[in-house]
Amino acid sequence: MRLRSVRLTPYLFIAPFFAVFGAFGLYPLIYALQLSFMRWRGGSQARWVGFDNYLYLLTSPEFWSSLGNSAVMWLLIVPLQIVAGLGGAVLLANAKLRLRGFFRVAFIVPFVTPLVAMAQVWIVVFDQDYGLVNYLLNLVGLPDVAWLTSTAWSKPTLALLFLWKTTGFAIIILLAGLQAVPGGVYEAASLDGASRWRQFWSITVPLVRRSMAFLVVIQTLAVFQMFTEPRVVTEGGPYGSTTTAGLYLYDHINASDLGTGAANSFLLVLLVFGLSLVSVRMLRPKDEVS
Amino acid sequence: MSRNRPGIGQYVLLTLLAIVFLYPIWWAVSSSLKPAAEIIASPLSIGELTLDNYRAMFADVPIGTGFLNTALVLLVKGGMTMVFCPLAGYAFAKYDFPFKNVLFGVVLLTLMLPTLVLIIPLLLEMSALGWVNTYQALILPGSVDAFSIFWMRQTIAAIPNELIDAGRVDGAGEFGIFYKVVLPVIRPGLAALAVLTTMNIYNDFVWPVVAVNDTEHQTLQVVLATLAQNVTGNRIGADFATVWGELLAAGSIAMLPLLVIFVLLQRHFINGILAGSVKG
């Protein structure tokens, strides 16, 4: 009797999790895959169309332009965030720093704020005619910039929101990586006469490579899924310049074109997976093989 | 980097960074307390303080309903995460049973998938179940996730088996061991999971905005996103200043609860964020 109850126990423990996970995680995933091979618009009957949805997307200029917009966002965000994150982490890593706790909290506060609220603050602050940023530019004699209403500036302005909100998070992640570096390593390097800059490049950077790879992977995922920023701030405009891959996917939902939407999401999965693999490979420490 | 005393330059740089991160929040909150016209006329100075923007905002959108809905979703959905994930994590960490690896493998497989993939099939599932515009729709999808169970398994695996066996010798039942031995030991991990879960549910926008399209069930973030539309709809020809005053008021009040919890529990928050990052 006792033995049987022990044998059943683990199944009872995982049952609630798998009931919910199966119904609202696995099932929709399989459903999405099936859907991606079907034509289903609005109220009409769904029918099997093979790879038509995928082919339609791969030959659609809008699809490629949404990927292009996301790629530009990635370029504006990820390299800058890694550099700024590493800089911030190095500044914070000193154990003798006063107010260290305060700085750590101050940097992470944006990460805790609701994105919708901050996106709306961005609308106000970056308004061309009455916004705070142009007001400050005018004070120092510079002309207005069309932050949210020109195709040249719309992407950098949204990228800035993303950077503002998540760079503190990057700093904390890299700081955790840095603190895993034994202090003795630097002392030995100093005794050998290595300059601080040299120490940074030959000790610090290689040792936080793993954290950097991790950051690149999750931020790649986040940038290609970016949805709330363009949805709230620019609604994808001007002229589609901020219609990111994530927002374009939402357009299919709005148009009740669910088969194409499902196909679009799987193309995104493949792309994000590929990009993550490449970045992990590039950032892998040199002494690790395969 | 830990041997030298930090120089003045380091403090200057850190202070500049802190200003960059904190100023937008300060500006939004302080501007929301100014008369609407002043936000545009003199964006930098703070003179007279007023709650007019808040009063107007409360009249224009059901932000109270938004807060209540978010609180309800947070309580039930967060509660499910906090019970189901440690329980399943315990089974995967400390028991051997047939199909264990297959089941856990399936969970891990979904760890890297973008959440956007599930939106469309979930929407169809909700309408098939007749759950469009219901609390079930807001609560059930996403109430357990691959990451939380993965993290709980890691945390519980670190508990020595002797501790669990000792509980068994003392005659505790299997669930009693989980409740009386395992849970107290992993309390810091649970606290971090709680703050991370709270943050994710409170700030979630993508799912609530597609799952619900009536005012009665809108969560706080969805109410926020409809504000500008409502202001211009309610008052034809409402000027920029009016809309902005209300936007800033709503944004400030929406930030407040999490910021207060964050300042009180910042150690757990930062641990949660760090632990959350083990994900990769």
B128 CB burial (10 A radius; 0-12, 13-18, 19+): exposed
> φ and ψ at B134, to 5 degrees?
-130, 165
User: Is B158 inside a domain boundary?
Assistant: yes
d(CA B104, CA B110): 10
A290 CB burial (10 A radius; 0-12, 13-18, 19+): exposed
What total number of domains does chain B contain? Answer: 1
Above pLDDT 90, what percent of chain A? 53
DSSP assigned state of A41: B
- Least Cα distance to A133 among A119, A151, A118, A148 occurs for A148
A125 to chain B: which residues are within 8 Å by CB?
24, 27
**What is the pLDDT confidence band of residue A285, given thresholds at 50, 70 and 90?**
low
d(CA A35, CA A40): 8
**What is the pLDDT confidence band of residue A181, given thresholds at 50, 70 and 90?**
low
Three-state secondary-structure class, residue A257: strand
Q: Which residues are paired to A41 by β-bridges?
A: A257
Cβ–Cβ < 8 Å for B149, B85: yes
Contact flag B84-A132 (C-beta cutoff 8 Å): no
When computed from its CA atoms, the radius of gyration of chain B, rounded to whole angstroms, is 24
Three-state secondary-structure class, residue A47: strand
CATH number, position B123? 1.10.3720.10
| pLDDT tens digit sequence for A64-102 | 999 999 999 999 999 999 999 999 998 988 778 888 889
Helices (H), A36-114: 52-58, 61-92, 100-112
Cβ–Cβ < 8 Å for A212, A174: yes
Using CB atoms, pick whichever of A23, A114, A272 lies closest to residue B254: A114
Q: Residue B221: which domain range?
A: 59-279
C-alpha distances in angstroms, B171 versus A214, B165, B175, B178, B188?
A: 44, 10, 11, 13, 26
Using 70 as the pLDDT threshold, list the residues of chain B that sit under it: 1-4, 112, 232-238, 272-273, 275-280
Interface ipTM > 0.85: yes
d(CA A119, CA A95): 35
Tokens at A249, concatenated: 């996917």
Contact flag A105-B149 (C-beta cutoff 8 Å): no
B73 CB burial (10 A radius; 0-12, 13-18, 19+): buried
Residue type, A220: T
d(CA A125, CA A132): 5
| pLDDT tens digit sequence for A217-263 | 889 888 998 999 999 999 888 999 999 999 998 888 888 888 999 99
CATH number, position A141? 1.10.3720.10
| pLDDT tens digit sequence for A139-168 | 999 999 999 999 999 999 999 999 999 999
Q: Is the pLDDT of residue A120 over 80?
A: yes
The pLDDT of residue B32: 94
Count CB neighbours of B48 within 10 A. 8
**What is the pLDDT confidence band of residue A197, given thresholds at 50, 70 and 90?**
confident
Across B8-47, b (16+ Cβ under 10 Å) vs e yields eebeeebeebbebbeebbebbbebbbbebebbbeebeeee
C-alpha distances in angstroms, A166 versus A72, A110, B101?
A: 18, 7, 35
Q: How far is A129 from chain B (nearest CA, A)?
A: 9
Helix (H) or strand (E) holding A38: strand A38-39
Residue type, A270: L
d(CA A158, CA A121): 12
**DSSP-derived secondary structure for B95-145:** ---TTHHHHHHHHHHTTTS-THHHHHHHHHHHHHHT-TTSHHHHHSTTSS-
Residue of chain B with shortest Cα separation from A88: B14
Q: Is the pLDDT of residue A1 over 60?
A: no
Contact flag A172-B270 (C-beta cutoff 8 Å): yes
User: Is A261 inside a domain boundary?
Assistant: yes
User: Is B172 inside a domain boundary?
Assistant: yes
**Cα-Cα end-to-end distance for chain B:** 26
Residue of chain B with shortest Cα separation from A8: B97
What total number of domains does chain A contain? Answer: 1
d(CA B187, CA B170): 22
| Angle, helices B240-264/B187-203, rounded to nearest 10 degrees | 170
The pLDDT of residue A195: 80
Contact flag B125-A28 (C-beta cutoff 8 Å): yes
Which of B21, B23, B26, B242 is the best mutation test for A, with the most CBs of A within 10 A? Answer: B21
User: Is A47 inside a domain boundary?
Assistant: no
Residue of chain A with shortest Cα separation from B20: A164
Contact flag A32-B120 (C-beta cutoff 8 Å): yes
A186 to chain B: which residues are within 8 Å by CB?
1-3
Count CB neighbours of A33 within 10 A. 15
Contact flag A107-B40 (C-beta cutoff 8 Å): no
Q: Residue A257: which domain range?
A: 61-283
d(CA B151, CA B166): 25
d(CA A259, CA A181): 49
d(CA B268, CA B262): 9
Q: Which residues are paired to A257 by β-bridges?
A: A41
When computed from its CA atoms, the radius of gyration of chain A, rounded to whole angstroms, is 24
Q: From its phi and psi, is residue B4 left (phi > 0), alpha (psi between -120 and 50) or beta?
A: beta
Q: How far is A234 from chain B (nearest CA, A)?
A: 12
Contact flag A31-B22 (C-beta cutoff 8 Å): no
Tokens at B237, concatenated: 């020809």
Q: Is the pLDDT of residue A188 over 90?
A: no
Give the residue-averaged pLDDT of A193-216.
82
Q: How far is B165 from chain A (nearest CA, A)?
A: 13
